[in-house]
Amino acid sequence: MVIPNIDELLANAHPVGLPMRTRFRGIDLRETVLLQGPLGWAEFGPFAEYQDDESALWLAAAIEAGWQGFPTALRNSIPVNATMPAVPADQVPEILAAFGEVPAVKIKVAEVGQSLQDDIDRVAAVRQAAPEAVLRIDANAGWQLQTALEALRRLADFGLEYAEQPVPGIEGLASLRAALLAEQIPIRIAADESVRKESDPLAVARAAAADLIVVKVAPLGGVRRALEIVREAGLPAVVSSALDTSVGIRAGLALAAALPELPFACGLGTVALFEQDVCAPALLPRAGEIELSETVPDPELLQKYRLPEDRVRWWEARLRRVHAQLSQRVM
């Protein structure tokens, strides 16, 4: 990978903050940086808790998008799911409405401060509001083994397609999957956090820890690296977002479009969680799918949602540090 110099990146950087419709992943404002490269727009938005070494993969993904371009697409339209934050059950219909008709809904569970009954009520409300949709849950490794087993016993009646990272670690996933098989509970296990490190995918497969993997372009270092990880793991893949703007969603669509097989709807409809996107029109699902198209931010929206100057300086300093980290890796 040829890395553009830091001055070029900073000269074409647009730090923005987008308000969320509802609190998601603990944030109300999604801060990120949009970069304009010679081959298109790119996004660099590692969450605040990510250290510089881990954030270097996010920058590699952005450079691929803006300076290298994406691999050949095998399909022009990607089926997507809706994403339901860990909200009270009575808020479910309003949030689902923003996604339109979708074939599947991913429901956040195991939120800190909430109970298993809260999760069950939320899943039940989604089932009532979307009776034809396939349901999945995502615990973000928030349960321990026995809690996860009890939760999945109780949620099995909803016909879940899979449970995403219900417990931490590969060993935990393997133990839970074995327990589900022993009890004949028909819920697949999807690994997400456990495939973030480059060495993990093969370990997930060898340990029989998951039935499928969830891959995100930015944390894995780009579309090409994510394709390699899927190939190495030898498991079906779902492409998901890292709470991206339409610019980052375009990279996720490029990955989904380049996968040899795409057996599941992807988690790329998350622009619906923002009050406003930076692109007009935004990459939102229509009839449960998103068409591949190029994304160009609206200059007025870039200005409207530009971060205050102290946050701009924070992101510029972060970009400098992460650029130095990435440059050392590829020397």
Please give the annotated binding residues for Mg(2+), written as ranges.
138, 164, 192
User: At 24, is the secondary structure helix, strand, or coil?
Assistant: strand
d(CA 234, CA 113): 36
Which two structure tokens, joined as six digits, stand for 33? 């940086």
Active site residue 216: yes
Smallest CA-to-CA distance from 266 within 292, 237, 240, 289 is with 240
- Quick one: residue 159, left, alpha or beta (phi over 0 = left, psi -120 to 50 = alpha)? left
d(CA 119, CA 137): 9
d(CA 58, CA 221): 6
Active site residue 108: yes
List the catalytic residue out of 106, 108, 197, 304: 108
What single-letter amino acid sits at 41?
Answer: W
Which two structure tokens, joined as six digits, stand for 64? 């691929």
User: Do the Cβ atoms of 248 and 4 come closer than 8 Å?
Assistant: no
Residues with active-site annotation: 108, 216
